[in-house]
Structure 1
Amino acid sequence: MKRPKLGKFSLVSLRDLLVASLPTILLVLAACVVAYIVVDPAPPRRVVLATGQENSAYEEFGRKYAALLAREGIKVELQRSLGSEDNLQRLIDGRADIAFVQSGSTSEAQAERRNLMSLGSLFTEPVWLFLRERGKGRKSDIHSLTQLKGLRINLGPEGTGVPRLFRQVLAVNGVEPGQLTVSSLENTPATVELLAGRIDGVVFSSAPEAPLIQMLLQTPGIRLFDFRQAEAYTRRLPFLTHVVLPRGIVDLGRDIPAQDFHLIAPTATLVARDDLHPALVDLFVKSATEIHGGAGWFQQQGQFPSPKYTEIPVSREAAKYYRDGPPFLQRYLSFWLANLFDRLWVVVVALAALVIPLSKIVPPLYVWRIRSRVYRWYGQLRAVEQTLEKEVEMSAPPERLDEVRTELLRRLDDIETRVNHISIPLSYADALYGLRSHINFVRQRVRAGIKAG
């Protein structure tokens, strides 16, 4: 005789436990997915960065940001623009997510009303006033902005922010823009006009890395204006700083420039809409540190990027990055993996909110499922008793009672056979043995042919 395997018996039925827990598990998983996607959504894989004009420093730096973020799986769409004021409008209209903006282009109150935030200042943008020499072999003798009266000066398109900035500079010198012949060409065509002699000067506000700045600094017949009163300008216009272009910084061998030049400079800031994903804020600040953190013509190592030098409120995430460095996980993991773990706290909250109360439902469901295997057979036993009871009450003839008893005994044998194949944990075996004894009890009643009651 084949002996039964004791391994099929256990204190707990894992299958029943899983089935009883399944609704709870599905509900918890659904809540976690909703919390993960809706409450704390993943950062977008595409972001629009408004840069500047063709051949501008903004455009050059925009390409560097795009290259760095591409390594992390973020596509940066570069959007060429006129400059700072145009970029501000693009942010306000929702056409760009983040942009380069020059300090002094707006105020703190206006930035808050327009839902803008700063990710920090990136570099100084000196005001470059390039003038054409007045005659062959003669250098420009212009040493004061009051001497620009009557000259043809290009300030650039209104959207660049340079016209607004330079008008403020002219105003503190007592010069009205109407006293100059002002044009509003973009940087590249304005440079062409200057080199062709059709205008007397161009005004840029840009980092020295801009290709046009590099070219004009080395072009014979073009001279950079020296803001000898630079320190006074910073007192009158607080968003400006005084920087010095050192002698020979462009080309030491050729001694270009041949003297120190004093310049006035606002700062370039990275401005974003306040709904930019916090993870992208960290990523942009990290990229800014890599791009702008070194020493330059007008800055010391580590001076930029910085939460200073900006009138736009710095975002909370950016301020924390400047204060504490990159988030802990981003120091050791890739951007997306670090972001995944960083967002898991939402899932933990969802689990805590659901698992504890739902865990009180699973045990009763499990007990009900196990005991229902036994209890459902009591309905069959009751049906057998009621059939016998009906025949007895109707005073059926003996032949009919014998026929009914035979049929009911067959049904009880079938029930007992099926009950013997019930798989039930050992901790609930008492209910199974109780059922078997009750089957035998009903069988005795049927054999006796007495009224069930």
Structure 2
Amino acid sequence: MKKLRFTLFSVKDAVLAFGPMTVLLLALLFATWYFVEPAPSHTVDFVGGQENSAYDAFAKAYATELAKNDIKVVVHHSQGSLENMAQIRDMDSVIDIGFVQSGSTNQEEAQAQGLISLGSLFYEPVWIFYRSKKEFDSIAQFKGMRVNLGPDGYGVHKLFSQIVDINGLNDGDFQLSQLDNPIGTAAFLDGKIDVVVMSAASDSLLVQMLLQTPNVRLFDFAQAEAYTRRLPFLSHVILPRGIVDIGKDLPARDYHLLAPTATLVAHESLHPALVSLFLQAAKKIHGNANWLSDQAEFPSDRFTEIPVAPQAEKFYRNGPPFLQRYLSFWMANFLERMWVVLLTFGALALPLSKVIPPLYRWRIRSRVYRWYGQLRAVEMALDHVDPAERDQVLAQQLQRLDEIEEKVNQISIPLSFADELYGLRSHINFVRQRLRNAA
């Protein structure tokens, strides 16, 4: 145990020297941490569409992609775009993000409701299928017909109303129904409905089936460019000749279509780090070429009336954040959030690293130096002493010197400072010798 008193390092003195500064540093770091933006949630609620719809399939694809970064995406079902937007803007709803079709709102309403866009994802053309011996070239030719628009939540009814309004018509000029698309399509094929209107991506099974069904015509929006000038949220897209079946030459010519876009919309409270993560997933899911879009055309910050989130704009300009290109999402996010803390730590650690070592050395040496005051007092005790009392005072100081030496021998000190301890002991002997010489 005696050997343990002499070590290379004094833990006790290190704690006393480093402790107050460390506590202060940790307090400052904690205060900085408290005001730093919290980490994103590990769970995100995503609203897609009806079960087994294209929206639902895409929502599940996002869930798969984000699961690779340990984020659970809970997919919810809905009647479509309008219901999705209502749930996203509702602060009492659990929904964080979902698909909304362009044209469902306007910029002023979206800002007032706290909505942000992460960008548009794919075209959802307005497909108008009908049966007729002759080809129609005007919406007015559908006047009086039985037209199915799908359920309210799809947003097709609002879109159809805007299109017919431009043509000087209104909903009352048609016999409108709102059957689910599969049911409405079956009724159309049975002759119970004259026209089917739907807005869906080109990979919709119903769309592909109707494009290949004999005696079913697709309406060609020959005035597509004029429509897009009047309704800016719509895009003019072309269904190329032969894209359905090149061998059978289906369709037999190019068709001009009007297309809103499916947009990824969230509430402004969505954590900024998740914006980049969702867009990285969107590039994988929607970045390939299809019937209507080119390679890497989507996701895009165009075609959306909802304000694009600043983090999304940054993504479109520069790509993923620098750290996320080389580190896992959670590690990159930690460093991105904590750079202020790390900067504070560095700013404090540098000066403290220069202050604390001298403080530690002072604490060790003070165990030795404080005895020199007593040695000096012993040495000066014989000065100006009456000769008659000199022997008595000398005996007292020699006894006191022995007591000092005994206490000094009990000092524990790191070996790196042992020379100063031995120096003190030699100085004690030096003072003792002087006292004896003075006798």
Q: TM-score, normalised by structure 2?
A: 0.80
Identity percentage of aligned residues: 50
**SS at 1:62 equivalent:** helix
Query: Alpha-carbon deviation of 1:410?
Result: 7.8
Q: Corresponding residue for 2:176?
A: 182
- Structure 1 residue 21, shift from structure 2 partner: 1.9
Change (3 A) 1:29 1:196: farther
Partner Cα distance (1:215, 1:16) in 2: 82
Contact 2:238 2:256 in 1 (8 A): yes
C-alpha spacing 1:375/1:124, structure 2 compared with 1 (3 Å): same
State the partner residue of 1:303: 297
1:293 has 2:293 as partner: no
1:100-249 superposed matches below 5 A: 100-131=99-130, 133=131, 139=133, 141-249=135-243
Q: Is the 8 A contact 1:102 1:161 kept in 2?
A: yes
Q: Secondary structure at the match of 1:88?
A: helix
Farther-moved stretch of structure 1 (23-32 vs 270-279): 23-32
Q: Is 1:90 aligned to 2:50, yes or no?
A: no
Q: Is the 8 A contact 1:228 1:262 kept in 2?
A: yes
User: What 5-or-longer segments of structure 1 have no aligned partner?
Assistant: 385-401, 448-453
Q: Distance in 2 between matches of 1:405 and 1:18?
A: 37
C-alpha distance in 2 between matches for 1:17 and 1:318: 50
Q: How does 1:19-30 map to 2 (within 5 A)?
A: 20-25=17-22, 27-29=24-26
Identify the match of residue 55 of structure 2 among 33, 40, 58: 58
Amino acid at match of 2:222: R
Secondary structure at the aligned position of 1:117 is classed as strand
Task: Please report the RMSD computed on the Cα atoms of aligned residues, expressed in angstroms.
Answer: 4.1
- CA distance in 2 between counterparts of 1:277 and 1:288 reads 17
Deviations 1:121-172 (A, max 9, x none): 21211111223x3xxxx64654422233322222233332222111110100
Relative to structure 1, the CA distance from residue 406 to residue 327 in structure 2 (aligned partners, 3 Å threshold; closer, same or farther) is closer
Paired residues of 1:293 and 1:304 also in contact (CA < 8 A): yes
| AA partner of residue 236 (structure 1) | R
**CA deviation after TM superposition for structure 1 residue 288, in Å:** 1.6
Worse-matched range after superposition: 369-378 or 219-228:
369-378
Report the alpha carbon displacement of residue 307 of structure 1 after superposing the two structures with TM: 1.5
1:37-87, Cα deviation, whole Å (9 max, x unpaired)? 751433322212221223432222222222222222222221222222222
Distance 1:370 1:139, change over 3 A: farther
1:24, distance to aligned residue in structure 2 (A)? 3.2
> What does residue 67 of structure 1 align with?
64
Pairs within 5 Å for 1:223-372: 223-356=217-350, 358-359=352-353, 362-363=356-357, 365-372=359-366
Tell me how many residue pairs correspond in the alignment: 425
One-letter code of the match for 1:306? S
Q: Is the 8 A contact 1:60 1:210 kept in 2?
A: no
Measured in 2, the distance between the counterparts of 1:34 and 1:200 equals: 68
1:333–1:412 distance in 2 versus 1, CA, 3 Å: closer
The TM-score, its normalising length taken from structure 1, stands at 0.78
Distance 2:210 2:433 in 1: 112
SS of residue paired to 1:418: coil
1:397 aligned residue: none
Residue 387 of structure 2: aligned partner? none
Within 5 Å, give how 1:385-424 maps onto structure 2: 412=404, 414-419=406-411, 421-423=412-414
Query: C-alpha separation between the residues in 2 aligned to 1:297 and 1:196?
Result: 28
Distance 1:169 1:376, change over 3 A: same
What amino acid sits opposite 1:77 in the alignment? V
Residue number in structure 2 paired with 1:451: none
Q: Deviations 1:180-225 (Å, cap 9, x if unpaired)?
A: 2222333333334334443332321121112222233233454322
Question: Contact 1:55–1:211 at 8 Å: present in 2 too?
Answer: no
Q: Residue 391 of structure 2 aligns with which residue? A: none
Please give the alpha-carbon distance, in whole angstroms, between the structure 2 residues aligned to 1:9 and 1:55.
73
